[in-house]
Amino acid sequence: MSVPNISAFYFGAISLILIGLYAVLVKKNILKMLIGLSIMETGVNLLLISIGYISGKSAPILSEGIEPNQAVDPIPQALVLTAIVIGVATTAMTLSAAIVLYKHYGTLNVEEIRRLRG
Partner 1 sequence: MNGQYASLLIALPLLGAFFVPLIKGLGKKAIKTYVLIITAIQTGIAAWVFQQVYSTGKPIIVMAGGWRPPIGINLYIGHFAALFVLIVAIASFLMAVFNFKAIDVEPIDKYAMLFLLLMLGATGMIATGDIFNLFVFMEITSITAYALTAYNKTGEAAEASLKYMILGGIGSSFFLIGVALIYGATGTLNMAQIAQLAGNIDPTVAQVGLALIVFGLAVEAELFPLNAWAPDAYQAAPHPITAMFSAFVVKAGLYAMARILYLMSSVGTWHNVLKLLVVMATLTVVVAEFSALRQRNVKRMIAYSSISQVGLIALAFALGTQAGVDAGVFQMINHAIIKALLFLGVGYVAVQLGGADIENFHGLGRKMPVTAFGITVGAMAAVGIPLFNIFWSKLRIILATVEAGYTWAAFLVLAASVVEAVYYFRLIHAIWFEGEGERISESIPLVAIVVALVILVVAIGIYPNYLWSVSQKAGSDIFNVAQYIKNVPLMGVGA
Partner 2 sequence: MNELMIMLFAPLVAGFIAWALDVRGIREAVGVLGTLVPLGVLAKYYSTIAGSNPEVVTQTITVGGFKLIFQLNTISWYFATIASLIGVAMAFGMVSTSRSSYEWLFALMSYTGVLGVFLSGDFVGFFLFWELMTFASFMMVLKRSRHESLKYFVLSVIGAYAMLIAIGILYAKIGALDFGTIRQALYMDAMLGSISKSLTALVFLLFLTAFGVKAGAVPLHVWAPGAYSEVDQSYTAFFSGALSKAGAYGFLLLYILMGAKLVAALGIWHNHMVFSYIIAWLGAITVVVAGFLAVLQEDIRKLFAYSSVSQVGYILLGLGIGTPLGFTGALFHVLSHAVFKGLFWLVVAALVLRTGKTRFEDFGGLAEKMPITFAMSLIAVLSLAGIPPMAGFASKWLIYEAAISAHMPLVAGAIFLGSALAFAYVVRFLYAVWFGQRPSDLEDVKEAPLPLLIGMAILAIPNIVFGVAPGLVTEYLGKFLGNPVGGNYYKLVTPTGTYNALLVAVLLVFGLAIAGLIFIYGAKTRRIPVTNTYQSGNPVTEDYNLSMRRNFYRPLAEALDFWLKYSWDRFYERLAGIAEDFADFLREGFYNGNVQSYAWYLAVVLLILALWGVL
Partner 3 sequence: MVSVLKRSLAIITLLIIGYWLAQGLAGVPFGQDKMLVGHYYLDHVKEQTGAVNAVTAIVVNYRGFDTLGEVTVLFIASTGVGALLWERKKRRTAKTEGSIVLTTGTRLLVPFVMLFGAYIFIHGHLTPGGGFPGGATIATAFLLLYMAFTMYEIPHKAFEKTEGLVGMGYVIVGLIGLAIGGYFLFDWIWQTWGWGHDNIGRLFSGGFIPIIYILIGLKVGTELSGIIDNMLKEGVKE
Footprint of partner 3 (CB under 8 A): 4-7, 9-11, 14-15, 17-18, 21-22, 25-26, 47, 50-55, 59-63, 68-69, 71, 73-75, 77-79, 81-82, 84-86, 88-90, 92-93, 95-97, 99-100
Site for partner 2 in 53-112 (CB under 8 A): 110-111
| Through-space distance between the first and last CA atoms of the chain, rounded to whole angstroms | 41
Nearer Cβ to partner 1 (64/111): 111
Nearest to 18 by CA among 53, 50, 42: 42
Is 21 among the residues that bind partner 1 (CB under 8 A)?
A: yes
Q: Taking the complex as a whole, how short is the minimal distance between the CB of residue 50 and partner 3, in angstroms?
A: 6
Contact yes or no for 87/44 (Cβ under 8 A): no
| 68 CB-near residues (< 8 Å, 6+ apart) | 62
Q: Which does 65 bind (CB under 5 to 8 A by kind): partner 1, partner 3, partner 2, none?
A: none
Bridge partners (DSSP) of residue 58 are 71
Where residue 61 falls (left for φ over 0; alpha for ψ -120 to 50; beta otherwise) is beta
The number of residues making up the chain comes to 118
Is 31 among the residues that bind partner 1 (CB under 8 A)?
A: no
Binding residues vs partner 2 (CB under 8 A): 1, 21, 24-25, 28, 33, 110-111, 113-118
